[in-house]
């Protein structure tokens, strides 16, 4: 059945705290309510390890393989994936599947960080900092690759490590930093290609939503909405939302993702529209 398929990832993967697993659940539930869709849950919650990248990857691997299998099934039935994940490291499982089914796709990576470090370049030993480089084949994660760096557009990054800066300066990957006319610069970078969007909530200015990392000079919700309106001009292949924490601190009052999801409205509408256009095209082929 063609539709948008909501996947909620609840496995532990490079968590520094225990706030993003319930945060992902609140995002998925609100999306399901707004779109009138069900939720497929992958993974089992577990306390944060807060360990090095290899320990985190080994512990998460069973759930990450299950997540990859779920995304494979979504594409196999010609649905469009809409995923709520706790941490960016879940993309190690998702993006190789996206690239395999749609090798032409432009992955638009909204994040305060590029996540293009590798085991040999990381200073932090953090698995999340390698979430994009694994699918791009810069190191072997055990979950596949296939995403061309030329098909990646970084948006909103302002905390970059030396190896990531070198990649950007070499022209291997496109970077749309925060600042004036971001939407216009993003439109030029995407250049009409089909789009898969990744959103790490720390791309936003601190204080808008709770996130693990706090990096000044980010995007406003208006900036995000304007960027989503640009992406909605393209065929939308899918969307993943990561790093929304359900409270500002452990034991704190729950925070609603409503304003965040409202900013994503153009992309959510475009996902549904892409499904409808796909279905209409296939009906025309069978006439």
Sign of CA dihedral 129, 133, 138, 139: positive
pTM value? 0.96
In the chain, the number of structural domains is: 1
Q: Does the pLDDT of residue 131 top 80, yes or no?
A: yes
**Of 115, 136, 135, 134, which Cα lies nearest the Cα of 126?**
115
Per-chain mean pLDDT for the chain: 96
| CATH assignment of the domain containing 171 | 3.40.800.10
At residue 210 the predicted structure's pLDDT band, cuts being 50, 70 and 90, is very high
Q: Does the pLDDT of residue 213 top 90, yes or no?
A: yes
Six-digit token pair at 226?
Answer: 């304007």
Q: Does the pLDDT of residue 285 top 90, yes or no?
A: no
Task: Tell me the pLDDT tens digit for each residue of 174-193.
Answer: 999 999 999 999 999 999 99
pLDDT at 282: 59
Interval 146-159 mean pLDDT: 98
H or E stretch covering 101: helix 91-101
pLDDT at 129: 98
Q: Tell me the DSSP string of 134-193.
A: TTTTSS--SS-----GGGEEEES-----HHHHHHHHHTSSEEE-SSTTHHHHHHHHHTT-
> Which range of residues forms the domain containing residue 240?
4-285
């Amino acid at each position: 059945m063609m539709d948008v398929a909501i996947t909620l990832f609840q496995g532990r993967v490079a968590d520094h705290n225990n706030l993003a697993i319930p945060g992902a659940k609140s995002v998925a539930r609100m999306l399901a309510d707004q779109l009138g869709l069900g939720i497929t849950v992958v993974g089992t919650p577990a306390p944060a390890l807060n360990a090095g990248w290899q320990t985190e990857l080994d512990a998460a691997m069973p759930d990450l393989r299950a997540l990859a299998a779920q995304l494979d099934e979504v594409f196999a039935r010609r649905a469009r994936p809409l995923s709520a994940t706790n941490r960016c490291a879940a993309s190690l499982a998702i993006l190789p599947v996206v690239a395999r089914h749609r090798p032409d796709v432009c992955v638009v990576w909204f994040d305060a960080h590029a996540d293009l470090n590798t085991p040999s370049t990381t200073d932090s030993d953090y698995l999340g900092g390698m979430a994009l480089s694994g699918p791009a084949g810069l190191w072997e994660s055990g979950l596949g690759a296939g995403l061309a760096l030329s098909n990646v557009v970084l948006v909103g990054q302002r905390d970059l490590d030396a190896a990531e800066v070198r990649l950007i300066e070499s022209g291997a990957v496109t970077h749309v930093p925060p600042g004036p006319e971001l939407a216009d610069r993003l439109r030029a970078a995407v250049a009409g290609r089909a789009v898969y969007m990744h959103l790490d909530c720390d791309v936003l200015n601190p204080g808008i939503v709770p996130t693990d990392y706090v990096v000044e000079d980010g995007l406003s919700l208006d900036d995000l909405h304007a960027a989503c309106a640009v992406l909605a001009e393209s065929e939308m292949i899918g969307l993943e939302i990561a790093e929304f924490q359900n409270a500002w601190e452990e034991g704190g009052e729950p925070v609603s993702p409503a304003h965040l999801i409202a900013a994503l409205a153009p992309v959510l509408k475009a996902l549904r529209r892409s499904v409808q256009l796909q279905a209409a095209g296939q009906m025309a082929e069978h006439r």
